[in-house]
Structure 1
Amino acid sequence: MSRNQTAIQKVIPIVAVLLAGGSAVFGQTAPAASSPTDKSNDQVTKTKDDVILLDPFVVNAESSNGYVATSTLAGTRLNTDLRDLGSAVTVVTGKLLSDLGATDNLTLLQYTPGTEVAGSHGNYGGQSSVNGGNDLLRDPNSGNRVRGLDSADNTRNFFMTQIPWDDYNVDRVDLSRGPNSLLFGIGSPAGLVNATLKSAIFRKKGSVDFVYDSNGSKRETFDVNQPILANELALRFDGLHTDSKYEQVPAFERQNRLYGTMTYSPKALNRNGNQTSISASFEGGNITANRERSDPPLDNISAWYLYGRNNTVAATNPAVDGNGYWNPFYWGDTNHFPPWLFRGYSTGYFGAPLFGNSNGNATLMPIQGTILPSAATKAMFTYNASGVPQGLINDNIYTQGQNLTAYRLNNNLVPYSSLQYANAQITDPGIFDFYHQLIDGSNNRQWSNWSSQSLNLKEILWNGRAGFSGDYYHEKYTDGELSLYQNAIQVETNSFLLGPGGATAQTQGYSNQNVGRPYVAGDGYENDNLSHYERQTMRAQAFGELRPTEIWGRSWITSLVGKQLLTLVASQQSLKQEDIAFERFAYSDVTAQQVWGDSNPWLGADNNRRVEVNTYIGAPMSSASSLSSLHLSNVQQYSVPGTQTVNVPVFNYTWINPGVSPTAPWVNTTNPVNAGKTETQTDNPANYQGWTMTPADIVSIGNNPNASSFSGLAMSGTKSHNYVNSEVASWQGKFLQDNLVVLFGIRRDEATYFKTYAPTPTSANPLNGDGAAGLNAPTYTWDDTTYTPRSTVTGTSKTTSVALHLPASIASKLPYGITPSLLYVQSSNFKPEPGRFDVYGNQLASPLGRTQEVSLLVEALDGKFSVRIGHYKTVIKNSDSPALNVWFGNGLYDWGQYYANGLISKANTDPSSVDPRALAAAKYWVANVGQVYTPAMLKFWDIPVAGEQYGTDGHINSAATSQDTEGTGYELEMTFQPTKNLSLIVNGSHESAKFTNIGGATFDWYNKVSSFLNTNTDPSHPGWVVGDLPLWGGTGVGNANYSTNGYHEDPGSNWSYVGSVWFYNNESGTAGQVANASARVGQQVMQMRPDHLNLIANYTFDSGRLKGLNFGGAFRWSSAAILGYRGAQNASYTPTNGQSQYVYDLNSPIKGPSERHFDLWVGYERNLMHNMKYRIQLNLQSVGEHDRLLPSYANPDGTYGYYYIQQGMTWRLSNTISF
């Protein structure tokens, strides 16, 4: 238990006692004080809190009435009537938060218009990919989407922040949808979610709250506000401790926070219509979690169980037996590899190869002809589900169960196989109960900790005619994640293990006692990272208001021209960010050097340092009556290897038979693949010392990463520093007796971006000598003068807002006091991303957001009824697109140059060995490749111009592909409070969010390369083209053939030529990517639900026998989500060799189910004693529902491909004592 956690738990009961003690502890309650002006600044009024409501820099929580708020800072940073703003702003009051039991984004955003949120009770899947991504583990607060476009910025008191908001210290939440340059010229075009933090007021009050829920969670908060000097000084403290449990055992989240704020308004300065106040606040907090997974594990067992177990191919396939188990000797024999298994190609995959070197190349057995120096197996820790060690075994589980989707694709069991199918998940809780078990057990961690401080000085002058405010905000935030297992269940398919212990120690293996058992695997490599953030903001704001009535009196001029408000803002924001990726555990660099012989054992490139951890979670499955009967366990114990020394098997290649000639013939009798073949004595394992057990050191972070624990385990480090200088001017004018309100603002932002990287070790520069990234290197510093690259981006954005109200003289004649208004807004912002370049090396323009909205507002019944219907159009340009990947760009050049030069050289020495068609392609390539790879491109992407080095690394994979998105829709917001007892809210939306452009320079370059590869190389042979250049050492062209479309067909070897690689007609191939990216233009964004509707109501009895009782409920409905599109044959493509090209049919969307949920609550409040109340409330969410899976992605054949978990009914019980 942390020190902060212990302190907060002790403070909460003490607070209750102290509050009950009243003034004896805290001093006397301050008497009422006067406040300068009302909202119109025409008369002096006081609030019941003795806080000046008219302070234009704040919106007081007490100004809200139930669910209704009438003003906001989310328009201009000054207190402005919502009815005078064209922007779409929703205010969630403290009363609404309390009734819903909402405490953060995850529990609120499903009730607000135009917003979606991931999580077990959310209305959005939120996966970052259809193949196992999960947005929620490290940062659940960011798992939201606004209008289907992007996640909202997270702000507190309109300062950008990393700290997730929680209602323990929040008065209200403002949701601003769409860009608003008056608030932030730089940020998310989707909008922001702003939490207004509690402030110290001149009235004594407090509360203590205890909450419990159906998962066994506990939540404890306190709130203490105490005046110290009457009407001058007040302090407020808030604390939070949570111990949240989840339905997936043993998932948890523990959170501790402490917040304090003060307000000082010295009487000596508050006179003659002027008011000075100083406020300050701080918060410290931490979160430790092992969060639930929102998606079931991947299914890598069904293909083996359904198709490999009890197979009929064993009689003719010596590599497998009747149970579908694999004989590792046959790893290199592709003709006998069964389709229900997956085979890796380098170390670091599930079940890495038995042998490996520092380059990642591998071979299974030395007797197959390839001898690697100092070859050895990786050690692999194995456990059963209860954590009992099963031994340290050789890591030659090189085969594993194939994912069910991959099996179906590889065996042509589904149509449109070139399009994207999701990896299959386990959707039967009889196999594994993903609803109630966290598959990782206690082996994952997520954490965050932070501190923040703010200071504000403001002066209101001349009875509110002018004023200024100066703010300083500082924040430090750190978060990170530790993981172990991948979210997938595998099956052990290797019939025996190779290494010492067999009948013949040098060659034979031993029977694998765990064959057929299901397991989960991981190597501490993925998703182990942390980030440090430090934000600092200084902001100055000044306003001046011209009041024409004070100049001309009340006349026709002042009825035409009303108050004119000018606001100026200048700010400077700074964000330092460091991102570190590390391995949770690995072999030491010394082990890699001495055992594996690595000259540069850098973690970022050397897979041999990884240590596999496999945990069996069930008995052998070969005799299981059905998959549903398995009832697999999760991992039940902590399984992360600690720092230790283990023995690993190493094959020693010391020659022990000096009398035997290495070139002498030898008949292979040990390997069933090569049995009976005559080889040489170099292939005879009896000539070597053979298997030996060798000590190997493992270094481990374990479960507690800190600055000193990364020694030897850091893979990469990045430091960046962003400065943003902003200047804003806005004018708000009121005309026609305040019935026309015009707002215009202009903003200029200058963003400067610096970035540096931790150097990686090389043989010549080993840095710390531990094989890790140089986090302590002199060049890895916050000194901006050393940063590269550096870039400055400037942008100017404007906002125009118009509100036209029906004059009161006309509205008074309408029934029920109906007052309609027309509202309009146009605004923009941008997101500076100076580090993005296209394939030509040109810097891409920063992502830009623009919105235009028109709304009809109707108010009635003296403000008790309000309904707003709006139409918006938001355009986002130049954002990053995941639809295209140009990773092969530098590989195409490297491979083409290497093999073209090699072919020409070979032809010079042996002309008859080279096909003339291939030679023509090679010569044309070398002479003309500069048409598509210009010297400037080669230099920019760091591709060697000579092109003689095969497989050299370039950086063209860093090229960004841009896309544009357009969102349009209608939004409805209605609030109705017919009596003080009844509050009603209705909100809804009809939305569309589509891709309007994808590709940009990437498409242009693709077309140039395609044209080049289809260029004729010999006029006397029209069919000879550049793409005929053979790869992989080939000297001929076989049956190579090009269609007029440029698609290369070679049925026997689709990867034998430059052209076939480039035009590979598959989702992962360049041609397939381009075709499908083009088809995505016009598609709705993933998981788009066009329609949403929410109804919320609460009734409170304030008299009679039921006095103090309240009850309410909510109804949430969402239409069917668009999860994908059916595949179709590309009508504009001419098939060749019977091969068609497939694209998505935008006229055939695949939809998921619609959703409807009911929530209920009932509460009761009564007085305990003088000034002390007790309140209890029970909330039921998703009444009558059970756990279920909802689809989040649809395959092109119309089936659902990926799912997320939605929890059934839960309850929450809160107990509050207030003073």
Structure 2
Amino acid sequence: MVLLALLGLGAGTAQAQTAPTSSSASPPTATGEVAPVVLSPFSVSGDQDKGYQAANTLAGSRLNTKLSETPASVSVFTEEFLKDLGATGLAQVLEYGVNSNADFNAVTTAPSFFYLDGGLLNDVRVNNRGLAGSKTIDFLETTLPTDTYNTGRFEVSSGPNSVLFGFGAAGGIINAQTRLADLRRTSAKFTGTVSSWNGYRAEADLNIVALKDRLGVRVMGVHDETDTWRRYADRRTDRWTVVGGFKPFKTTTLTALYESGELSLPSDRPYNRIDALSFWWRQGRPTVDNTSFGTGVSTVQNSLGIRGTGVRNIVTNDGTSIFARSIGANGVVYQSASIYEAGVVSGVPTQRLDPSGTYATLLPSAPRADGLPYAPYSINYYGPEARRKNDISRKFFRLEQKLGADGFLELAFNEEAGHGFANQLSGSFSLYGDPNLFLPNPDGTPTRVTNPNAGKLYVEQVGYFNFEDTVNRVARATASWKVDLGRWWGEHRLAGMVEQSAQNYRTGQGPQILVNSASGAPILNAAAPENAQNYLYRRNYVTTGAPETYIPASRFDTRPITYGGATYKPRLVFSSGTPGSQRAIESMMVATQSRFLDGRLIATGGLRRDQVDIVPLLAARLGATDPRVMSGERLLNEYGFAGEDTALARSYDFTTYTAGAVVKVTNWFSAFYNQSNNNGAPQTTRRILPDVTFPPPPEGLGRDYGAMLSFFDGRIFARMTAYHTASKNDPTVRDNSFILAHRRIITAYRDAGLITQAEADTRFINAYLGDFLSDLDTKGYKFELKANPTKNWTITAAYSYTKLERSNLGREWYPWFADQKAYYSKFPSSLITTANIPVSTEISQIETGVENLFALNKLGYNNRPHKANVFTRYSFDTALLKNFFIGGGARWQTKNVLQRDLVGFDALGKDVLGKTLYGPEIFNLDALIGYSTKLKSGPLGAGTNLRVQLNIANLLDNTDPQIIRLNRVDGGYWRVVPREPRSFRVSVTLGF
């Protein structure tokens, strides 16, 4: 706010100049004659964009190229479009992409709960052509969130493109182009916005020219806050950017930029509470003497609809301490069960869930006739304490030097840093009922105590933290030279680049546990502080029928916790896991853009080499002499940073290419072809058999071809593309139940004295997490139209079809498991494992379970084959409607692939799969109306540009959720993306 106030003061001294118009189809504004800016071939300005139609791009070949002469598939969202859409971030823009959308991480059987906001630092993950995409800012790799307050336009390059990014995702990139200082004119622009759910946003953009055409500075800032439509999910953003431009000589341009920002966002699971009580509810919500069932904790008591909780340390919102133990009947605590849980005989078939053993099913989102508690989507059930905070910064410097008449040199350096910390929650996301008449005595004796909350509903979860620190540095030198060899030999723009980049990434996470207040020792398992036996569960008894109370108890509760005569306190500890990595890349690239036959044939090509070194960081348990333990910073045996994991360090040498051509058959018809590949970073959090090491780097392959149509001097431009894009070595299918069964088998051999502990240790492969390699393949076609049919009308429209398939799944698993079966055959198959079943049964369940998993994942999960959208604006220039404009958009996507119907099991227990199940279609309408003029007089001053705009999103107020996955049993939802209700946004912009 201070920044905006200062900018407001600066506006008073700013010289009133005419603001530039970006389109002949813009709402009426004044125009001014401005000398064109001579750009390097590595820069693109939006000054030539008209309405929603962009003129040039760097996204095809790293060289400034007309879109009509670019063989790569590139789509541009202009500044005019962003303004009309009312977009503030990338997720809104992606809704109108040709074949792009926010990535819900939904292409596997188990989409994670980060699928809405992308992650801790990253604001949104990108999906393009059904595959993961990458984000860049000014064509530099980024993990920082994007905001339109300093963005001139977005460019989408679909498919792999080695010239742009030899090292990236196969789906392509979405680049945000930062607005720079304009050395031609002084100007100021202020925008205030109010929106639904107490939303408020203030933007300032002040451009000051100190020496015309030589020295200028631009300052941009934003303050944005809103409660959002979901309770406990308020958001706040404060960011500012200062960028300077200096031309010490006519052929030299220096640019320097600094950005800083603070973001406060919710930690959010974007769905509602999970059903863990429907069977108990159906049975009449019985309360029981919980000692009558003995010490068993895992079996559901079918007549009552309850099951044991196991070992848990629980503190309730009223201060009651519950220490559930599985030894001795007086220590057992029970909880309600749903009709979907494995082992429940409740009229619903007992089946597996891909194949974890229970069926997570969301509660109904509205009241039902049977009175089962409901949980609407309009609440963030993590509650108000679950927050994530991001601090971000960026430094950028660039020197552009013209060399003679035909050469350019560019030197650039970029550094971005981000720190994110999140208070999250772990444990079940379920709503439970408490059936216990009695509770274990907190003094540790067998004497039970009465449960004051018997029969009530509750939620309980474990406090959890997560942090990310990342620093990216890039130094780049790029040069180009134009050579004209005449009509027959053509005109050629040759480019070369050398680049060095380094990324340091640190991360950590862990739960809140109970430790002895005096000794600091964990309550049950001192050898592994992060073990679930030490977790502190915060239980909140809720008000039935009041979903806003279905949030966890406060993790900041300071009331004393006693057990067995000792006092305990909460503490956050680090879990195991890779604490980060260091990456260094040295790149070289050569590219050419050649024009033959008086520009009727344009050929582009590029060759790139990336030498990549990746060193993961290591976490290890800390000993008693470690300074962090001695100082009390960490607990004994807690995980801590232990340096570089040189054993897993890897080096890669990639050579990739891009080749394409455009043939102008007539003045209005062109044909194009483009082929390219690229490589990506191996996922250092994944491990692959048989060596339990990093997966191989993913490889992207792409081929595009089609036609372009241009009419009425380019005012109507259409591009029709057929494509085939593949991503090889994808490691995102994960299920650890099979490796756990393998470890139980090895444990049985050890316990029977058949193998030594040392041999068992070599067979356990504890670092393996259940990851499987596969290939993803997409084929399809798309159509895009960008047009300014008249000076008052601008429009963008797109249609796409995509077929997504997964193949070669688990190719590394089969030889590994064949070796294990040969090993198993040396020992008796009748031995009983800790799962209380014979080894022979474990082996058969591993085989059938893996086959079930692979069969399910061969689907193109969440793919919506057909997508279409249109957005338009018309400006009136006559009669009473002069200076008004109206517009809006429509978005449609066909049904998404959810899963296969499970119709039964064969003799070996393998799933028998039926028809493919689909979710609902998506159809949304957005509306736009506004008024724009240049004031002739008044308190704001003559010459002031005024724009008032109303945006209505989701005009039809369609609130049906986007279904990501069903529970595969009874039609219940498992993963959804809630739909934001109809919302209003009013903005007022003043330009000087």
Name the TM-score, length of structure 1 as normaliser: 0.74
Report whether the alignment pairs 1:804 with 2:666: no
Deviation of residue 73 (structure 1)? 0.8
Q: Sort the Cα spacing of 1:175 and 1:246 in 2 relative to 1 into closer, same or farther, 3 A.
A: same
Q: Sort the Cα spacing of 1:584 and 1:207 in 2 relative to 1 into closer, same or farther, 3 A.
A: farther
Deviation of residue 755 (structure 1)? 1.9
What corresponds to 2:328 in structure 1?
none
What corresponds to 1:830 in structure 2?
679
Deviation of residue 1158 (structure 1)? 1.0
Residues 555-589 of structure 1, C-alpha deviations (whole Å, 9 max, x = no match): xxx33232112110110110001111133464258
Residues 218-259 of structure 1, C-alpha deviations (whole Å, 9 max, x = no match): 111100011111210110000011112111223211110010
2:949 to 1174, 1177, 1189: 1177
Tell me the amino acid that sits aligned with residue 299 of structure 1: D
Report whether the alignment pairs 1:641 with 2:556: yes
Tell me the amino acid that sits aligned with residue 94 of structure 1: E
Range with bigger deviation, 472-481 or 140-149: 140-149
Deviation of residue 262 (structure 1)? 0.9
Report whether the alignment pairs 1:482 with 2:255: no
Q: Sort the Cα spacing of 1:1178 and 1:285 in 2 relative to 1 into closer, same or farther, 3 A.
A: same
Deviation of residue 1004 (structure 1)? 2.0
Greater strand fraction, Structure 1 or Structure 2:
2
Instruction: Supply the distance in 2 between the matched residues of 1:293 and 1:582 (Cα, whole angstroms).
Output: 18
Instruction: Supply the distance in 2 between the matched residues of 1:567 and 1:993 (Cα, whole angstroms).
Output: 36
Task: Give the secondary structure class of the aligned counterpart of 1:483.
Answer: strand
- Kept in 1, the 8 Å contact 2:883–2:932? The answer is yes
Range with bigger deviation, 431-440 or 194-203: 431-440
1:89 to 52, 57, 74: 74
Residues 58-83 of structure 1, C-alpha deviations (whole Å, 9 max, x = no match): 11121111100021011122211112
Report whether the alignment pairs 1:1001 with 2:812: yes
2:691 to 836, 841, 850: 841
Tell me the amino acid that sits aligned with residue 456 of structure 2: R
Tell me the amino acid that sits aligned with residue 869 of structure 2: N
2:83 to 98, 102, 110: 98
Q: Sort the Cα spacing of 1:455 and 1:593 in 2 relative to 1 into closer, same or farther, 3 A.
A: closer
What corresponds to 1:371 in structure 2?
none
Alignment of 1:1151-1190 (within 5 A): 1151-1168=918-935, 1169-1190=941-962
What corresponds to 1:158 in structure 2?
139
Deviation of residue 632 (structure 1)? 3.5
Report whether the alignment pairs 1:1141 with 2:910: yes
Task: Give the secondary structure class of the aligned counterpart of 1:523.
Answer: strand
What corresponds to 1:369 in structure 2?
none
Instruction: Supply the distance in 1 between the matched residues of 2:284 and 2:639 (Cα, whole angstroms).
Output: 52
Report whether the alignment pairs 1:898 with 2:750: yes
- Kept in 1, the 8 Å contact 2:77–2:153? The answer is yes
Q: Sort the Cα spacing of 1:402 and 1:141 in 2 relative to 1 into closer, same or farther, 3 A.
A: same
Residues 131-169 of structure 1, C-alpha deviations (whole Å, 9 max, x = no match): 866543744855444345333212110111111111100
Tell me the amino acid that sits aligned with residue 790 of structure 1: A
Report whether the alignment pairs 1:1213 with 2:986: yes
Deviation of residue 736 (structure 1)? 1.5
1:66 to 47, 51, 54: 51
- Kept in 1, the 8 Å contact 2:875–2:884? The answer is yes
Deviation of residue 1194 (structure 1)? 3.1
Report whether the alignment pairs 1:961 with 2:772: yes
Report whether the alignment pairs 1:331 with 2:246: no
What corresponds to 2:214 in structure 1?
232
- Kept in 1, the 8 Å contact 2:409–2:478? The answer is yes
Task: Give the secondary structure class of the aligned counterpart of 2:579.
Answer: strand
Deviation of residue 55 (structure 1)? 2.6
Give the alignment's Cα RMSD to 1 decimal.
Answer: 3.3
Instruction: Supply the distance in 2 between the matched residues of 1:303 and 1:147 (Cα, whole angstroms).
Output: 42
Alignment of 1:174-193 (within 5 A): 174-193=155-174
- Kept in 2, the 8 Å contact 1:296–1:425? The answer is yes
What corresponds to 2:789 in structure 1?
978
2:196 to 182, 203, 214: 214
What corresponds to 1:466 in structure 2?
407
Instruction: Supply the distance in 2 between the matched residues of 1:325 and 1:777 (Cα, whole angstroms).
Output: 40
What corresponds to 2:669 in structure 1?
820
Deviation of residue 647 (structure 1)? 4.1
Q: Sort the Cα spacing of 1:1076 and 1:47 in 2 relative to 1 into closer, same or farther, 3 A.
A: farther
Task: Give the secondary structure class of the aligned counterpart of 2:549.
Answer: coil
What corresponds to 1:52 in structure 2?
37
Instruction: Provide the identity percentage.
Output: 19
Instruction: Supply the distance in 2 between the matched residues of 1:437 and 1:562 (Cα, whole angstroms).
Output: 63
Tell me the amino acid that sits aligned with residue 406 of structure 1: E
What corresponds to 1:547 in structure 2?
484
1:1106 to 868, 881, 892: 881
Residues 660-709 of structure 1, C-alpha deviations (whole Å, 9 max, x = no match): xxxxxxxxxxxxxxxxxxxxxxxxxxxxxxxxx32223346xxxxxxxxx
Q: Sort the Cα spacing of 1:418 and 1:452 in 2 relative to 1 into closer, same or farther, 3 A.
A: closer
Tell me the amino acid that sits aligned with residue 449 of structure 2: Y
Aligned residues: 957
Task: Give the secondary structure class of the aligned counterpart of 2:60.
Answer: coil
Instruction: Supply the distance in 2 between the matched residues of 1:560 and 1:468 (Cα, whole angstroms).
Output: 28
What corresponds to 1:1061 in structure 2?
842
- Kept in 2, the 8 Å contact 1:146–1:177? The answer is no
Alignment of 1:484-523 (within 5 A): 484=425, 486-499=428-441, 506-523=445-462
What corresponds to 1:167 in structure 2?
148
- Kept in 2, the 8 Å contact 1:879–1:964? The answer is yes
Gaps of 5+ in 1: 1-8, 33-45, 310-321, 353-377, 384-388, 549-557, 620-629, 651-692, 701-711, 812-818, 903-925, 927-942, 1018-1025, 1034-1053, 1065-1069
Report whether the alignment pairs 1:257 with 2:107: no
- Kept in 1, the 8 Å contact 2:622–2:640? The answer is no
Tell me the amino acid that sits aligned with residue 829 of structure 1: N
Tell me the amino acid that sits aligned with residue 152 of structure 2: D
Tell me the amino acid that sits aligned with residue 1155 of structure 1: I
Instruction: Supply the distance in 1 between the matched residues of 2:655 and 2:266 (Cα, whole angstroms).
Output: 43
Instruction: Supply the distance in 2 between the matched residues of 1:154 and 1:340 (Cα, whole angstroms).
Output: 52
Task: Give the secondary structure class of the aligned counterpart of 1:749.
Answer: strand
Task: Give the secondary structure class of the aligned counterpart of 1:1028.
Answer: coil
Alignment of 1:427-438 (within 5 A): 427-430=364-367, 431-438=373-380
What corresponds to 2:472 in structure 1?
535
Deviation of residue 1178 (structure 1)? 0.5
Deviation of residue 1187 (structure 1)? 2.8
Deviation of residue 776 (structure 1)? 12
Instruction: Supply the distance in 1 between the matched residues of 2:637 and 2:52 (Cα, whole angstroms).
Output: 51
Residues 160-196 of structure 1, C-alpha deviations (whole Å, 9 max, x = no match): 1111111100111001111110011111111111100
Task: Give the secondary structure class of the aligned counterpart of 2:621.
Answer: coil
Q: Sort the Cα spacing of 1:434 and 1:1171 in 2 relative to 1 into closer, same or farther, 3 A.
A: same
Deviation of residue 879 (structure 1)? 1.2
Range with bigger deviation, 871-880 or 484-493: 484-493
Tell me the amino acid that sits aligned with residue 758 of structure 1: A
Instruction: Supply the distance in 2 between the matched residues of 1:777 and 1:1198 (Cα, whole angstroms).
Output: 42
- Kept in 2, the 8 Å contact 1:645–1:695? The answer is no
Range with bigger deviation, 1189-1198 or 126-135: 126-135
Report whether the alignment pairs 1:1125 with 2:936: no
- Kept in 1, the 8 Å contact 2:933–2:947? The answer is yes
Task: Give the secondary structure class of the aligned counterpart of 1:998.
Answer: coil
Deviation of residue 393 (structure 1)? 4.4
Tell me the amino acid that sits aligned with residue 802 of structure 1: A
1:612 to 522, 527, 537: 537
Task: Give the secondary structure class of the aligned counterpart of 1:1076.
Answer: helix
Report whether the alignment pairs 1:113 with 2:98: yes
- Kept in 2, the 8 Å contact 1:137–1:292? The answer is no
Task: Give the secondary structure class of the aligned counterpart of 2:502.
Answer: strand
Residues 863-903 of structure 1, C-alpha deviations (whole Å, 9 max, x = no match): 0111111011011111104255452376156324314426x
Q: Sort the Cα spacing of 1:639 and 1:333 in 2 relative to 1 into closer, same or farther, 3 A.
A: closer
Report whether the alignment pairs 1:280 with 2:244: no
What corresponds to 1:864 in structure 2?
715
- Kept in 2, the 8 Å contact 1:774–1:780? The answer is no
Instruction: Supply the distance in 2 between the matched residues of 1:148 and 1:415 (Cα, whole angstroms).
Output: 37
Instruction: Supply the distance in 2 between the matched residues of 1:529 and 1:733 (Cα, whole angstroms).
Output: 50
Gaps of 5+ in 2: 21-30, 325-330, 368-372, 936-940
Larger relative contact order (Cα-Cα within 8 Å, sequence gap ≥ 6): 2
Tell me the amino acid that sits aligned with residue 998 of structure 1: L
Report whether the alignment pairs 1:720 with 2:581: yes
